[in-house]
């Protein structure tokens, strides 16, 4: 299986731990990931707010590059995933936009036929690789670790087709496959506040609080995420939550970090030290630490 | 060859129970579609005689559409299957005669599928429009003239 | 000179109808009429406001008399709507009705065309085709076939029950076929009925027992129609009577077998109470089941599973010997002249709207479950005890579950607002709980319906205008602990509200039966994609179908409440009676016949006929068509290699001239 | 005492073309079909902070209350979680409509004072055009310097935490073909004119 890999800006910055754990995990599963050469920012939500067609062109460049590179395009960041999917939809649904973007791409010697399949890691892990294969490769089952699977919004809504929009299951399956205990987490697709934590903190932090509170009430040891912004919000604002609402110290990790752990990959390769709220204590308590 | 205001002329032969009723429903629902269709009602698509299509083309139709009940739903239990056999045969024949496949079409449309009538009508008109006029009558005339000349030259 | 037979020179009259602005709004009717006047054989052409009106029809009669018309073209609406009207007018005017040809310039022109010019051209083409066709028309006589006075009613809900009783009262033989072990349908499961609040059982069960005891009604429960042959007046229907394992003629419904069953306690979910109660393998669906005959469920009965049961039920039945483990399904063939389909509806499955937590939270109920819960003969004896054993102090009723939503069903289910009001009243009456109704629009049209809404307002029930987003057990405040929280926007107040309740009731919408498409095929009628049977005309033929002799009543035609259902059931019965009492049906004379001298005796037509109407006369070496059996599809006509079969009203010459007519533009 | 204001709306003050303008932009097509059920507001995670709930915003937009809509806080509270879009019983793409309104608000610079989102968007826009990538922290802090210095200080602990865990890159990342990217973007004639064809 061959995929182009679209990191997106966050995985090079605040979300480094995602990339750090993602690549080794796919390597361990025998999947070839090559980073899309000279990719650019997907445009996120902000670009759409300024100019829709330029936004489409910006994302279009990545799609064009991916089409040249061949193979499916893996976008681990929820925002990137959504924007790329959305751009594809627009290009196929709206001739006007297609024309504009096509023209613009032409100006720099690029073109896009609409052939690229945009994929999320969860999709690839469950539908291409398969839960069975993964569970066979487990060397350190996450026995006793209670995990709240948090999908966030943008990977299941509104375009994703690989999982149920109201009650997604792919992450649940993967966590069970590596021996973790999945807690029933009704907030699994609720919003983390996105950029509001930065722009209107009082609003953003209240959303973060709701998510953390429910997770601990349901007895979760950690929250597992698949989006750098979700991880950032839930992990980095717990001091605020503690001061504004109630004491909170809930480790928030990427699913790929947990998978890596179960596959027996070296801890330091998984960026587990990058959590503002450290995950090590609970892992130690559950005797899941290894070198 | 098509002059600017050429409009495709398509003869539609619809069965009374499903497709003709569906066409009525399209009307009752005020759906708008291309005005190029001229519907001829028969009781069952099984009444369709290949001659009807040939005659229509010979009389200047640019396309012929047959509409019947979905397989299994025929009001007369299997008239539409009988029609299907003839239509398959005829389609091959028409192609040999140099009449493009898009000019002759069969559609199963049930009484409740008014929207499908609209879709099919518009789609077929668009396809036939793209093909341009068939103008078989003119061709036949030319043909007769040639034949006459032939015979003249033989003498 | 012409006569009623329409012989002699063509004297065609063309009438172009305005249909108010329905046609005139898009088609230049005057222009069309003017054009028609120029066509060969046309001696008169008019446009008129409403051709179907009395004056319109008078006009036709007058012209036939004065202008000696011998053919008539009416360009108006669809022949499916008014052909009989205009043929009738011609007949009254002394002209054979089959010398009339209708042109559909409303449904298939004015209503579907944007451009006025194009619509007018289309109308001209179609009129021209009709004028071309008419000279080939021959005077014809209607066919008469006798109507078998026996009637088949499929579905024993309130609709089927009412039709059956009406027909039986008129002295007609009725077969009532129901697939469940008892008749009564959904209504039997209801507690009270809106807006009068009379108890469903009190008004229904007398009718049920009347069905059982009526000499003219043969009631077959646990039965399915599996085959239908024939046509209006003469249908042959095959019914499969599934084994009940208790002999109807011997069982008196004493229930001793049930008491004696080796299962001391009922332990299987009982269907009638929506699984809220339990039953034994041998059981009565409910106390007033009709017929009051026990039934054995082989899936749960030990004797059927192991063959090693003590059969205490048989002992209890003693020398009545009503129980018969050997009973087999039984095929019955019956002959009827007409059919009424009253197969009812299926409630929307709330598992398809996961946000409301049905199946996840045990105190989320469907409306039908609540009907049983508040019912005195229900699983809790009428006490509202929830699955968690508690009585609710607060209840949220969510309207439009599965209705008015592109993601589920787009239609309004019509009854949910009213039954939600009813349930609100009943729940308040039983528990005194705070009741919150969450609605999008409150729809209470109907006699004394809106007054009922007023009554509920008086009772202090809350009405919040907003579609519920979710039912959750995630709590944000102490007062929400242990409750189900309903989140919705109070659209009138303009705020989002979180309302903690003990119980949630889902007002699930109405859907077509799962097997509606199969039933439709069986009876050769039409059915919408939504699973509701298609009436012949939404206003003018609401209980008729496109198949003569087959009628529909109740929710199988569309969501409907009890009053409307009963009204339709009566209407269907009346339509049936009209056919039966006429004694015969008039059939279109569009049958086929063989031109003997031209028949080559190749027999290719014989095999084609689905009705075995064509036979081969060996000594003559010619085919022969039995016109009584011929349904007039015309398949054989198209197939005859020697062109020696003709079909009335659809002669080759008529169709060819129509085709040439639409194409030969001046 | 509470200030008394006149709230009557005169037909003449409404923007009659507003609805059709929105419906002409990709995603806005179904604006007219709203039945005001409030699902959008109820599923919205932030509607409880909005001055106009999404439902009201939809109604006001379709009725032509342009100024009320464009100056609304609602636009800048939307987190693009798409819950409304997915749950709408009429399948109205509420999120897309909000984007359309945000763009208009930014173009007309009628967004409410003190809300940094539009500023963020504009910075973001400029930054990406320049470097092809963006570094969140760098951007966010930059925005706060511009809009609210105190908030920026308030972010300090966060900054330290991110430094500690090595998640705060201090210089923005760059792509190679920056010239090409700029050319690409500049050869798009601005989106606001493009409508559904």
Which of D42, D48, D90 is opposite residue C488, by nearest beta carbon?
A: D42
If asked whether residues C487 and C387 sit together in one domain, one would say: yes
Specify the pairing of strand A181-182 against strand C223-231.
unpaired
Does C493 contact D at CB distance below 8 Å?
no
Task: Say how far apart CA C552 and CA C94 lie, in whole Å.
Answer: 36
Tell me the mean pLDDT in the region C451-459.
Answer: 98
Cβ-proximal residues to A179 (8 Å cutoff; 6+ apart), any chain: A138, A141, A142, A143, A145, A262
Question: What pLDDT band is residue D152 in, cutting at 50, 70 and 90?
Answer: low
Confidence check: pLDDT of D196 > 80: no
Query: Would residue B101 count as lying in a domain?
Result: yes
Question: How many domains would you assign to chain B?
Answer: 1
- CA distances, B8 to each of B23, C113, C659, C661 (Å): 19, 15, 15, 16
Task: Say how far apart CA D118 and CA D70 lie, in whole Å.
Answer: 12
Chain D residue with Cα closest to A202? D49
Q: Which domain holds residue B72?
A: 10-154
Q: How many CB pairs under 8 A join A and D?
A: 210
Tokens read off for C571? 């209407």
If asked whether residues A31 and A63 sit together in one domain, one would say: yes
If asked whether residues A56 and A160 sit together in one domain, one would say: no
Strand-pairing partners, residue A3, are: A33, A72
A52-69 vs D178-186: helix axis angle to the nearest 10?
A: 130
Residue C1: what pLDDT?
40
Confidence check: pLDDT of C2 > 60: no
Task: Say how far apart CA A23 and CA A12 lie, in whole Å.
Answer: 13
CB contact under 8 A, C496 and D37: no
Query: Would residue A79 count as lying in a domain?
Result: yes
Confidence check: pLDDT of C300 > 60: yes
If asked whether residues D19 and D102 sit together in one domain, one would say: yes
Does B14 contact C at CB distance below 8 Å?
no
Task: Say how far apart CA A56 and CA A72 lie, in whole Å.
Answer: 19
Dihedral angle of Cα B28, B34, B36, B41, to the nearest 10 degrees: -30
Which of C354, C355, C474 is opposite residue A187, by nearest beta carbon?
A: C474
Query: Would residue A67 count as lying in a domain?
Result: yes
CATH of the domain at A43: 1.20.1050.140
If asked whether residues D92 and D127 sit together in one domain, one would say: no
If asked whether residues C314 and C219 sit together in one domain, one would say: no
Nearest C-alpha neighbor of A166 from the set D83, D47, D41: D83
Task: Say how far apart CA C147 and CA A144 lie, in whole Å.
Answer: 77
Does B114 contact C at CB distance below 8 Å?
no
- Touch C-D: 3+ C-beta pairs under 8 A: yes
Which of C407, C465, C494 is opposite residue D53, by nearest beta carbon?
A: C494
Question: How many domains would you assign to chain D?
Answer: 2
Name every chain C residue with its beta carbon within 8 A of the beta carbon of A187.
Answer: 474
CATH of the domain at B62: 3.40.50
Question: What pLDDT band is residue D193 in, cutting at 50, 70 and 90?
Answer: very low
Q: Which of C566, C585, C604 is the last residue of a domain?
A: C585
Query: Would residue A215 count as lying in a domain?
Result: yes
Cα C616–Cα C618–Cα C619 angle in degrees, nearest 5: 135
Is C70 in contact with C2 (CB distance < 8 Å)? yes
Q: Give the minimum alpha-carbon distance from D38 to chain C in angstroms, rounded to a whole number.
A: 5
Residue B75: what pLDDT?
87
If asked whether residues C380 and C502 sit together in one domain, one would say: yes
Question: How many domains would you assign to chain C?
Answer: 5
Task: Say how far apart CA B67 and CA C296 lie, in whole Å.
Answer: 49
Query: Would residue A186 count as lying in a domain?
Result: yes
C449-458 vs C416-431: helix axis angle to the nearest 10?
A: 30
Q: What is the DSSP string of C522-533?
A: HHT--B-TTS-B
3-state class (DSSP) for residue C34: helix
Query: Would residue C663 count as lying in a domain?
Result: no
Confidence check: pLDDT of C238 > 80: yes
Q: HSE on the CB side for C16, CA within 13 Å?
A: 27
- Residues 90-119 of chain D with CB under 8 A from chain C are 90-91
Confidence check: pLDDT of C426 > 90: yes
CATH of the domain at C24: 3.40.50
Mark D36-71 as b/e (b = at least 16 C-beta within 10 Å).
bbbbbbbbbbbbebbebbbbbbbbbbbbbbbebbbb
Cβ-proximal residues to C371 (8 Å cutoff; 6+ apart), any chain: C189, C190, C191, C378, C423
If asked whether residues A177 and A275 sit together in one domain, one would say: yes
**Phi first, then psi: what are they for D174, rounded to 5°?**
-125, 150
Task: Say how far apart CA D9 and CA C216 lie, in whole Å.
Answer: 69
Name every chain B residue with its beta carbon within 8 A of the beta carbon of C650.
Answer: 42-43, 47
Query: Would residue D18 count as lying in a domain?
Result: yes
Query: Would residue A162 count as lying in a domain?
Result: yes
If asked whether residues C463 and C475 sit together in one domain, one would say: yes
Query: Would residue C656 count as lying in a domain?
Result: no
Tell me the mean pLDDT in the region C400-419.
Answer: 97
Query: Would residue B87 count as lying in a domain?
Result: yes
In angstroms, the first-to-last Cα distance of chain A is 30
Q: Which of A119, A153, A188 is the last residue of a domain?
A: A119
SS3 content of chain C, % helix, strand, coil (to 5): 30, 25, 45
Tell me the mean pLDDT in the region D48-77.
Answer: 96
Query: Would residue D163 count as lying in a domain?
Result: yes
- Touch B-A: 3+ C-beta pairs under 8 A: no
3-state class (DSSP) for residue C586: strand
CATH of the domain at C637: 3.30.70.20
Tokens read off for A272? 């587990």
Tell me the mean pLDDT in the region C264-283.
Answer: 96
CATH of the domain at A223: 3.40.50.11810
Query: Would residue B25 count as lying in a domain?
Result: yes
If asked whether residues A177 and A93 sit together in one domain, one would say: no
Q: Which domain holds residue D88?
A: 13-108
Name every chain C residue with its beta carbon within 8 A of the beta carbon of D91.
Answer: 406-407
If asked whether residues C373 and C442 sit together in one domain, one would say: yes
3-state secondary structure D57-90: HHHHHHHCCHHHHHCCCHHHHCCCCCHHHHHCCC
Query: Would residue B5 count as lying in a domain?
Result: no
If asked whether residues D121 and D88 sit together in one domain, one would say: no
Query: Would residue C79 count as lying in a domain?
Result: yes
Residue D170: what pLDDT?
62
3-state secondary structure C437-477: EEECCCCCCCCCHHHHHHHHHHCCCEEEECCEEEEECCCCC
**What are the pLDDT digits (tens) for A243-268?**
999 999 999 999 999 999 999 999 88
List of chains touching C (3+ CB pairs within 8 A): A, B, D
- Residues 186-225 of chain A with CB under 8 A from chain C are 186-187, 210, 214
Does B79 contact C at CB distance below 8 Å?
yes
**What are the pLDDT digits (tens) for A189-232?**
999 998 888 788 889 999 999 999 999 999 999 999 999 999 99
Taking phi first (over 0 means left), then psi (-120 to 50 degrees means alpha), and beta for anything else, what does residue C68 get?
left
Longest dimension (CA), chain A: 58
Query: Would residue B1 count as lying in a domain?
Result: no
Tell me the mean pLDDT in the region C505-511.
Answer: 98
Residue D195: what pLDDT?
38
If asked whether residues C455 and C499 sit together in one domain, one would say: yes
Tokens read off for C26? 């898009």
Chain A residue with Cα closest to C353? A166
Question: How many domains would you assign to chain A?
Answer: 2
Q: To which H or E segment does residue B137 belong?
A: helix B136-154
Q: Give the minimum alpha-carbon distance from B79 to chain C in angstroms, rounded to a whole number.
A: 6
- Residues 148-167 of chain D with CB under 8 A from chain A are 151, 154-155, 157-158, 161-162, 164-167
Query: Would residue C6 count as lying in a domain?
Result: no
Name every chain C residue with its beta carbon within 8 A of the beta carbon of B6.
Answer: none
Confidence check: pLDDT of C143 > 80: yes
If asked whether residues D52 and D87 sit together in one domain, one would say: yes
**Phi first, then psi: what are they for A78, rounded to 5°?**
-55, -45
Residue D148: what pLDDT?
58
Tokens read off for C83? 């052909």
Tell me the mean pLDDT in the region C293-309.
Answer: 95
Name every chain A residue with its beta carbon within 8 A of the beta carbon of C476.
Answer: 210
Does D72 contact C at CB distance below 8 Å?
no
If asked whether residues D72 and D151 sit together in one domain, one would say: no
Cβ-proximal residues to A280 (8 Å cutoff; 6+ apart), any chain: A272, A273, A289
Strand-pairing partners, residue C434, are: C394
3-state class (DSSP) for residue D32: helix
**What are the pLDDT digits (tens) for C28-75?**
999 999 999 999 999 999 999 999 999 999 999 999 999 999 999 999
Q: Which domain holds residue C309?
A: 256-320
**Phi first, then psi: what are they for D64, rounded to 5°?**
90, 20
If asked whether residues A84 and A147 sit together in one domain, one would say: no
Task: Say how far apart CA C179 and CA C165 lie, in whole Å.
Answer: 19
Confidence check: pLDDT of B1 > 50: no
Residue D197: what pLDDT?
31
Query: Would residue D183 count as lying in a domain?
Result: no
If asked whether residues C506 and C517 sit together in one domain, one would say: no
If asked whether residues A181 and A143 sit together in one domain, one would say: yes
Which of B25, B30, B47 is opposite residue C635, by nearest beta carbon?
A: B47
Q: Give the minimum alpha-carbon distance from B146 to chain C in angstroms, rounded to a whole number.
A: 25
3-state secondary structure C610-643: CCCCEEEECCCCEEEECCCCCCCCCHHHHHCCCC
Q: Give the minimum alpha-carbon distance from C613 to chain B in angstroms, rounded to a whole number.
A: 13
3-state secondary structure D142-187: HHHHHHCHHHHHHCHHHHHHHHHCCCCCCCCCCCCCHHHHHHHHHC
If asked whether residues C129 and C219 sit together in one domain, one would say: no
Tokens read off for C34? 């003017």
CB contact under 8 A, A203 and D196: no
Query: Would residue D181 count as lying in a domain?
Result: no
Specify the pairing of strand C468-472 against strand C484-490.
antiparallel
List of chains touching B (3+ CB pairs within 8 A): C
Q: Would you tell me how many other CB atoms lie within 10 Å of the CB of residue C135?
A: 18
Query: Would residue C662 count as lying in a domain?
Result: no
Is A91 in contact with A101 (CB distance < 8 Å)? yes
If asked whether residues C167 and C227 sit together in one domain, one would say: yes
List of chains touching A (3+ CB pairs within 8 A): C, D
Residue D194: what pLDDT?
39
Task: Say how far apart CA D22 and CA B78 lie, in whole Å.
Answer: 51
Query: Would residue C251 count as lying in a domain?
Result: no
Q: Which domain holds residue A253?
A: 138-285
If asked whether residues A251 and A154 sit together in one domain, one would say: yes
Tell me the mean pLDDT in the region C521-543.
Answer: 90
Specify the pairing of strand C143-146 against strand C584-587.
antiparallel
Name every chain B residue with its beta carbon within 8 A of the beta carbon of C635.
Answer: 44, 46-47, 76, 79, 82-83
**What are the pLDDT digits (tens) for B68-88?**
999 878 888 889 999 999 999
If asked whether residues C213 and C278 sit together in one domain, one would say: no
If asked whether residues D120 and D38 sit together in one domain, one would say: no
Tell me the mean pLDDT in the region C646-655.
Answer: 96
Specify the pairing of strand C550-552 against strand C217-220.
unpaired
CB contact under 8 A, D125 and A158: no
Is C436 in contact with C487 (CB distance < 8 Å)? no
Query: Would residue C219 count as lying in a domain?
Result: yes
If asked whether residues A51 and A153 sit together in one domain, one would say: no
Q: In chain C, how many H helices and how many E strands?
A: 17, 34
- Give the mean pLDDT of chain A: 93
**What are the pLDDT digits (tens) for A32-63?**
899 999 999 998 877 888 888 999 999 999 99
Tokens read off for C42? 């046309």
Residue D139: what pLDDT?
61
CB contact under 8 A, D79 and A195: yes
If asked whether residues A84 and A205 sit together in one domain, one would say: no
If asked whether residues C209 and C114 sit together in one domain, one would say: no
- CA distances, C162 to each of C76, C159, C179, C341, C569 (Å): 38, 5, 17, 12, 6
CB contact under 8 A, D87 and C469: yes
Interface test with D, best of C474, C489, C495 (most D CBs within 10 A): C489
- Touch C-B: 3+ C-beta pairs under 8 A: yes
Query: Would residue C249 count as lying in a domain?
Result: no
Interface test with C, best of B35, B56, B62, B78 (most C CBs within 10 A): B35
- Touch C-A: 3+ C-beta pairs under 8 A: yes
Q: What is the DSSP string of C379-448?
A: TTTT----TTSPPPSEEEEEEEETSS-TTS--S--SSHHHHHHHHHHHHHHHH--EEEEEESS----STT
Residue C611: what pLDDT?
84
If asked whether residues A145 and A257 sit together in one domain, one would say: yes
In angstroms, the first-to-last Cα distance of chain C is 29
Confidence check: pLDDT of C218 > 70: yes
Query: Would residue A131 count as lying in a domain?
Result: no
Q: Any idea which of A18-22, A241-245, D131-135 has the lowest mean pLDDT? A: D131-135
Residue owning tokens 């024309």 = A99
Q: Give the minimum alpha-carbon distance from A214 to chain C in angstroms, rounded to a whole number.
A: 7
Residue C7: what pLDDT?
58
Task: Say how far apart CA C599 and CA A86 lie, in whole Å.
Answer: 67
Query: Would residue A125 count as lying in a domain?
Result: no
3-state class (DSSP) for residue A9: helix
If asked whether residues C340 and C212 sit together in one domain, one would say: yes
If asked whether residues A144 and A281 sit together in one domain, one would say: yes
DSSP C177: E
List the alpha helices (DSSP H) in C170-317.
Answer: 200-213, 256-260, 302-306, 312-317
Query: Would residue A147 count as lying in a domain?
Result: yes
Confidence check: pLDDT of C227 > 50: yes
Task: Say how far apart CA B79 and CA C637 lie, in whole Å.
Answer: 12
Residue C396: what pLDDT?
98
């Amino acid at each position: 299986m061959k995929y182009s890999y679209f990191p997106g800006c966050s995985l090079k910055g605040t979300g480094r731990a995602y990339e750090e754990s993602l690549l080794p995990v796919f390597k361990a599963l025998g999947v070839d990931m090559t980073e899309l050469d000279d990719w650019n920012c997907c445009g996120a939500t902000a670009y759409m707010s300024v100019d829709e067609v330029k936004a489409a062109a910006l994302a279009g460049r990545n799609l064009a590059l991916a089409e040249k590179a061949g193979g499916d395009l893996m976008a681990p960041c929820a925002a990137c995933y959504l924007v790329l999917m959305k751009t594809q939809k627009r290009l196929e649904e709206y001739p006007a936009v297609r024309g504009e973007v096509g023209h613009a791409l032409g100006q720099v010697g690029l073109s896009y036929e609409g052939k690229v399949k945009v994929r999320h890691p969860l999709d690839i892990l469950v539908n291409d690789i398969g839960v069975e294969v993964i569970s066979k490769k487990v060397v350190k089952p996450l026995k006793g670790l209670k995990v709240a699977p948090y999908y966030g919004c943008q990977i299941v809504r509104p375009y994703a087709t690989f999982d149920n929009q109201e009650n997604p299951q792919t992450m649940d399956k993967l966590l069970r496959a590596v021996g973790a205990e999945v807690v029933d987490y009704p907030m699994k697709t609720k919003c983390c506040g996105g950029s509001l934590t930065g722009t209107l903190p009082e609003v953003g932090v209240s959303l973060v609080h709701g998510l953390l509170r429910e997770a601990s009430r349901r007895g979760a040891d950690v929250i597992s995420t698949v989006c750098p912004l979700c991880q950032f919000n839930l992990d980095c604002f717990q001091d605020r939550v503690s001061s504004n609402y109630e004491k909170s110290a809930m480790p928030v990790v990427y699913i790929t970090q947990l998978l890596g752990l179960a596959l027996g990959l070296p801890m330091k390769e998984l960026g587990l030290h990058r959590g503002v709220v450290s995950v090590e204590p609970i892992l130690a308590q559950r005797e899941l630490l290894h070198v | 060859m098509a002059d600017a205001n050429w409009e495709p002329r398509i003869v539609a032969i619809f069965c009374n129970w499903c497709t003709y009723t569906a066409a009525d429903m399209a009307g009752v629902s005020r759906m708008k579609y291309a005005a190029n269709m001229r519907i001829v009602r028969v009781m069952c698509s099984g009444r369709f005689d290949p001659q009807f299509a040939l005659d229509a083309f010979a009389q200047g139709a640019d396309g012929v559409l047959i509409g019947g009940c979905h397989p299994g739903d025929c009001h007369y239990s299997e008239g539409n299957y009988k029609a299907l056999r003839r239509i398959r045969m005829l389609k091959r024949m028409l192609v040999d005669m140099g009449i493009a496949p898009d000019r002759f079409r069969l559609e199963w449309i049930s009484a409740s599928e008014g929207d499908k009538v609209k879709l099919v009508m518009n789609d077929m008109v668009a396809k036939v429009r793209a093909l341009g006029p068939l103008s078989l009558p003119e061709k036949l005339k030319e043909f007769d003239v040639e034949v006459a000349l032939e015979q003249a030259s033989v003498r | 000179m012409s006569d009623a037979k329409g012989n002699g020179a063509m004297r065609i009259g063309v009438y172009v109808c305005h249909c108010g602005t329905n046609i005139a709004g898009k088609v230049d009717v005057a222009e069309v009429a003017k054009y028609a006047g120029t066509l060969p054989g046309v001696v008169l052409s008019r446009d008129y406001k409403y051709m179907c009106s009395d004056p319109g029809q008078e006009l036709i009669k007058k012209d036939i008399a004065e202008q000696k018309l011998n053919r008539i073209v009416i360009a108006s609406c669809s022949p499916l709507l008014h052909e009989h009207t205009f043929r009738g007018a011609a007949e009254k005017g002394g002209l054979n009705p089959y010398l009339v040809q209708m042109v559909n310039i409303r449904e298939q022109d004015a209503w579907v065309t944007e451009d006025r010019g194009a619509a007018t051209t289309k109308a001209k083409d179609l009129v021209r085709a009709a004028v071309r066709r008419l000279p080939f028309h021959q005077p014809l006589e209607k066919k008469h076939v006798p109507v078998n006075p026996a009637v088949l009613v499929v579905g024993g809900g309130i609709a089927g029950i009412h039709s059956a009783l009406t027909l039986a009262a008129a002295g007609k033989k009725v077969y009532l076929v129901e697939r469940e072990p008892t008749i009564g349908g959904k209504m039997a499961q209801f507690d009270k009925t809106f807006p009068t609040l009379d108890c469903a059982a009190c008004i229904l069960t007398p009718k049920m027992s009347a069905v059982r005891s009526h000499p003219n009604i043969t009631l077959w429960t646990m039965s399915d129609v599996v085959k239908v042959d024939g046509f209006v007046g003469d249908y042959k229907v095959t019914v499969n009577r599934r084994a009940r394992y208790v002999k109807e003629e011997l069982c008196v419904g004493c229930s001793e077998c049930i008491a004696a069953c080796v299962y001391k306690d009922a332990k299987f979910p009982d269907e009638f109470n929506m699984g809220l109660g339990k039953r034994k393998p041998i059981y009565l669906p409910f106390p007033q089941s009709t017929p009051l005959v026990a039934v054995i469920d082989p899936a749960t009965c030990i004797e059927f599973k192991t063959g090693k049961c003590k059969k205490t039920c048989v002992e209890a039945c003693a020398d009545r010997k009503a129980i018969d483990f050997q009973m087999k399904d039984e095929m019955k063939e019956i002959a009827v002249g007409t059919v009424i389909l009253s197969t009812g509806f299926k409630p929307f499955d709330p598992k398809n709207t996961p946000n409301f937590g049905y199946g996840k939270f045990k105190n989320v109920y469907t409306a039908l479950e609540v009907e049983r819960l508040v019912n005195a003969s229900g699983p809790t004896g009428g006490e509202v005890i929830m699955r968690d054993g508690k009585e609710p102090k607060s209840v949220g009723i969510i309207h439009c579950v599965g209705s008015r939503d592109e993601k589920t069903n787009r239609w309004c289910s019509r009854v949910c607002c009213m039954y939600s009001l009813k349930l609100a009243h009943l729940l308040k009456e039983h528990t005194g709980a705070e009741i919150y109704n969450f609605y999008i629009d409150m729809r209470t049209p109907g006699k004394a319906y809106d007054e009922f809404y007023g009554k509920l307002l008086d009772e202090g029930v809350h009405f919040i205008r907003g579609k519920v987003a979710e039912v959750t057990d995630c709590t944000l405040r102490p007062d929400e602990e242990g409750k189900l929280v309903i989140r919705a926007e109070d659209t009138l107040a303009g705020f989002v509200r979180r309302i903690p309740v003990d119980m949630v009731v889902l007002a699930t919408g109405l859907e077509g039966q799962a097997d509606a498409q199969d039933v439709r095929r069986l009876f050769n009628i039409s059915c919408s994609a939504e699973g509701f049977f298609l009436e012949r005309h939404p206003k003018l033929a609401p209980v008729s179908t496109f198949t003569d002799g087959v009628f529909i009543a109740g929710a199988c035609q569309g969501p409907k409440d009890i009053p409307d259902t009963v009204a339709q059931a009566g209407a269907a019965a009346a339509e049936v009676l009209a056919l039966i009492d006429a004694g015969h049906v008039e059939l279109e004379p569009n049958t086929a016949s063989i031109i003997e001298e031209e028949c080559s005796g190749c027999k290719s037509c014989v095999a084609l006929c689905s009705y075995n109407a064509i036979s081969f006369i060996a000594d003559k070496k010619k085919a022969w068509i039995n016109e009584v059996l011929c349904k007039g599809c015309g398949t054989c006509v198209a197939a005859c290699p020697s062109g020696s079969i003709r079909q009335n009203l659809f002669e080759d010459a008529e169709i060819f001239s129509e085709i040439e007519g639409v194409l030969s533009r001046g | 005492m509470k200030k008394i204001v006149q709230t009557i709306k005169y037909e003449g003050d409404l923007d009659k073309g507003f609805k059709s303008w929105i419906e002409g932009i990709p995603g806005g097509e179904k604006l007219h079909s709203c039945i005001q059920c409030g699902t959008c507001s109820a599923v919205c995670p932030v509607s409880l902070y909005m001055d106009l709930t999404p439902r009201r915003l939809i109604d006001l937009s379709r009725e032509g209350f342009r100024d009320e809509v464009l100056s609304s806080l609602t636009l800048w509270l939307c987190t693009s979680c798409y819950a409304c879009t997915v749950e709408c019983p009429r399948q109205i793409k509420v999120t897309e409509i909000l984007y359309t309104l945000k763009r208009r608000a930014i173009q007309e610079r009628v967004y409410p004072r003190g809300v940094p989102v539009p500023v963020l968007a504009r910075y973001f826009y400029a930054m990406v055009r320049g470097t092809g990538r963006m570094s969140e922290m760098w951007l966010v802090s930059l925005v706060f310097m511009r809009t609210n210095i105190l908030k920026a200080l308030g972010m300090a602990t966060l900054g330290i935490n991110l430094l500690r865990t090595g998640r705060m890159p201090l210089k923005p990342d760059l792509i190679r073909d920056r010239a090409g990217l700029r050319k690409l973007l500049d050869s798009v004639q601005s989106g606001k004119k493009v409508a559904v064809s």
